[in-house]
Chains A and B, each alone.
Chain A
Amino acid sequence: MDLFHNLIFGFGVALSWQNLLYCLIGVSVGTLIGVLPGIGPLGTIAILLPITFNVAPVGALIMLAGIYYGAQYGGSTTAILVNLPGETSSVVTCIDGYQMARQGRAGPALAIAAIGSFFAGTVGTLLIALFGPPLADVALEFAAPEYFSLMLMSLVAAAALAQGDMAKSFAMVALGLLLGIVGTDVNTGVQRFSFGITELSDGIGFIVVAVGMFAMGEIIANLGEPEQRSIFGAKVTHLFPTWDDMKQSIGPILRGTALGSFFGVLPGTGPAIASFSSYIVEKKVAADPSRFGRGAIEGVAGPESANNADAQCKFIPMLTLGLPASGVMALMLGALTIQGIQPGPEVMTQRPELFWGLVASMWIGNLMLVVLNLPLIGVWVKLLTVPYRLLFPAIMAFSAIGIYSVNNSSFEIYLTALFGVLGFVWTKLGFPAPPLLLGFVLGPMMEEHLRRAMLMAKGDATVFLTRPISLAFIVITVIIVIVMVAPAVKKRRGEIAG
């Protein structure tokens, strides 16, 4: 029983006191930023990345992962008590969660969200453990053409499935790829787009782009919107759901977990898509759909399970193929690279402690989150009373120190400010930021694989179509484009004709 041995090994790694501590820090920070609207896991992970330099790779990854799935738990608290999504993934939780709170059932709503998330997290962790190793085995057979086609497929899928304007997502991917190749070309030594600035010859820092766009850009956007936050006054009592609540929630939790796991492995779909679909499904299968919107517990149980399952399963492509399926996963890859680990299927065989330690820590982290979120709920609610005007200068301070500490370079601080402005402008023009980050991370790797593939095939571009696995990826890419683009074209034609 290989899986069993591996999991025992993983728990051995995750249960060391340092790693337990990193896990606890991660999930606490995650819950905190999940509860607070206006700062998300992307920005937080970007800001904390530099601090993880001094931490061993396993600990760093455990902590960063904890922030990510911890935020999914925290987001539901704000949604239920304040009717504001702490995270985008909790938007639908607001609908019935807040109604439950108004009916004096905030306790059961919070509890079922936590229980559902825990169940989904457990399943997600198991899925990673089950499917990770075989996927990595397959990926070990990949050569340059397969990698190039795979990256192309995931970028196209990410852009096609991202929320918002699809064409703009594609444009952002291309822009990200372009930004990614700034600096010295590894093959020819040519300086590209470095404008004679020595600091740029090593390329644009990953953290610079991420913090600029996701921390500063976000704050600039938030400051434009008037702050509105009214906390549900009543105290949270009767935490435990009734037996009826539990019976009503089992189905939604199972369905939500399945949906979330499915959307989780798809590139580009954020947890919001998983929770939205879960809500729609629950409304469809309910005996009395009119209860939805008036405090139906299914409307909390399903989506909250879905977003956590999604968050966990996003790790599968990242850990096994070295492919980021979302902006947060791009940051995780960045964290690995910074630690000197080449992401890819080799990670599992060469650094088993990393993979299995992380998997085990996720389960432990989910357990910690249940404890953190239920008995300590009062603490998090208190934190919501901290006004944003005190919060954002602190975020700015942490961002600045983090970036400066990477290379002790003021230039990177200026560059971050520039990306903050650009990130804000792009968002205002309707360009989503995460696809840019995906392109940015994959840019240099894609170019490298393209060159190697062409060299391998002696300049024959059909190499991508003659190798079966590569061909499969290309075919899927084409199908995605046809499926996603065709309806849009048809609709436009209809508009013009009509």
Chain B
Amino acid sequence: MNLPDSKDFWSGVMLIAIGAVAVFIARDYPFGTALRMGAGFFPVVLGVILMVFGLYFAVRGLHSSARIEGNWSLRALIVLPLAFVAFGILMEHAGFIPAMLALIVGSAAAGTEFRIGEVLALSVLLTVMCVALFIWALGLPYPLIAGL
């Protein structure tokens, strides 16, 4: 038995945590009566259900040998969401073109192969296409570059 990579054990821990947080927060919502259910009823019930499932998985994880399997890329897991966040920030402060370029170059950087020439060509091409399609054709109201 090796807990650090037991699939079920960590599934259980996660569900117990989510369920507990849900119940904890929902304790402030009026629970109501059977006749008039309050805002708290549904969340509390669901939170408890999640905790029960979590407990089941955690116990099962102590016995089972299922491991977290397959290859996975930590790089993609970190870089892709960051590219999205960069897009969000730049859309608010810098405009559509910088946001698109950052997103595309950032996304490409999450992959295993990064060919700088190819990525630059791709980002320019995609940005031009998206400007034509979304800004000019569909008329989305975003500045191409903020302040211009």
Contact = CB atoms under 8 A, between A and B. Distances in A.
Decide whether A and B assemble into one complex.
yes
Interface of A: 51, 54, 167-168, 170-171, 174-175, 177-178, 181, 185, 187-188, 190, 192-193, 216, 219-221, 223-226, 388-390, 392-394, 396-398, 400-401, 404-405, 410-411, 413-414, 416-418, 420-421, 424, 428-431, 447, 450-451, 454-455, 458-461
Contact of A459 (B15, B34, B66): B34
A159 to B, nearest CB: 11
Contact of A397 (B11, B22, B103): B103
Contact of A400 (B8, B42, B47, B84): B84
A428 B70 contact: yes
B68 interface: yes
Nearest to A402: B134
Given A177-B46, A416-B84, A410 B91 contact: yes
5 contacts: A175-B18, A181-B42, A220-B110, A420-B84, A450-B42
A188 B38 contact: yes
B87 A167 contact: no
A-B residue pairs, 5 tightest by C-beta: A459-B35, A413-B88, A410-B88, A417-B81, A224-B72
Given A175-B18, A220-B80, A193 B91 contact: no
B26 A192 contact: yes
Contacts of B110: 220, 223
Contacts of A219: 76, 80
A430 B7 contact: yes
Contact of A396 (B11, B80, B112, B119): B80
A454 B35 contact: yes
A50 B14 CA distance: 32
A396 B91 contact: no
Contacts of A389: 108, 111-113
Contacts of B87: 400, 404, 413
Contact of B107 (A174, A396, A405): A396
Given A167-B57, A397-B104, A178 B43 contact: yes
B116 interface: no
A192 B39 CA distance: 8
Interface in B33-81: 33-39, 42-43, 46-47, 49-50, 53-54, 56-57, 66, 68, 70-73, 75-77, 80-81
Contacts of A450: 37, 42
Contacts of B91: 404, 410, 413
A429 B7 contact: yes
A134 to B, nearest CB: 33
Contacts of B38: 188, 190
A420 B50 CA distance: 21
Contacts of B107: 392-393, 396-397
A430 B25 contact: no
A454 B34 contact: yes
Contacts of B26: 192-193
B140 A414 contact: no
Contacts of B54: 171
B27 to A, nearest CB: 12
Given A394-B126, A396-B84, A401-B130, A170 B53 contact: yes
Q: What does DSSP make chain A's interface, helix, strand, loop or mixed? A: helix
B56 A167 contact: yes
B50 A178 contact: yes
Contacts of A405: 134, 140
A421 B11 contact: no
A396 B70 contact: no
Contact of A175 (B50, B70, B80): B50
Contacts of B81: 216, 417-418, 420-421
A193 B22 CA distance: 8
A192 to B, nearest CB: 6
B25 A193 contact: yes
Interface in B85-120: 85, 87-89, 91-92, 99-100, 103-104, 107-108, 110-113, 118-119
Contacts of A430: 7-8, 11, 66
Contacts of B47: 178
A216 to B, nearest CB: 6
B148 interface: no
Interface in B114-133: 118-119, 122-123, 126, 130
B138 A429 contact: no
A451 B11 CA distance: 31
Contacts of A51: 138
Contacts of B42: 177, 181, 447, 450
A174 B36 contact: no
Nearest to B110: A223
A401 B84 contact: no
Given A397-B100, A413-B84, A454-B37, A54 B138 contact: yes
Nearest to A420: B81
B46 A174 contact: yes
A455 B35 contact: yes
Nearest to B121: A390
B81 to A, nearest CB: 4
Nearest to B113: A389
A200 B74 CA distance: 29
Given A174-B46, A220-B77, A393-B104, A192 B29 contact: yes
A170 B57 CA distance: 12
Given A224-B73, A389-B111, A396 B104 contact: yes
Given A51-B138, A410-B92, A393 B122 contact: yes
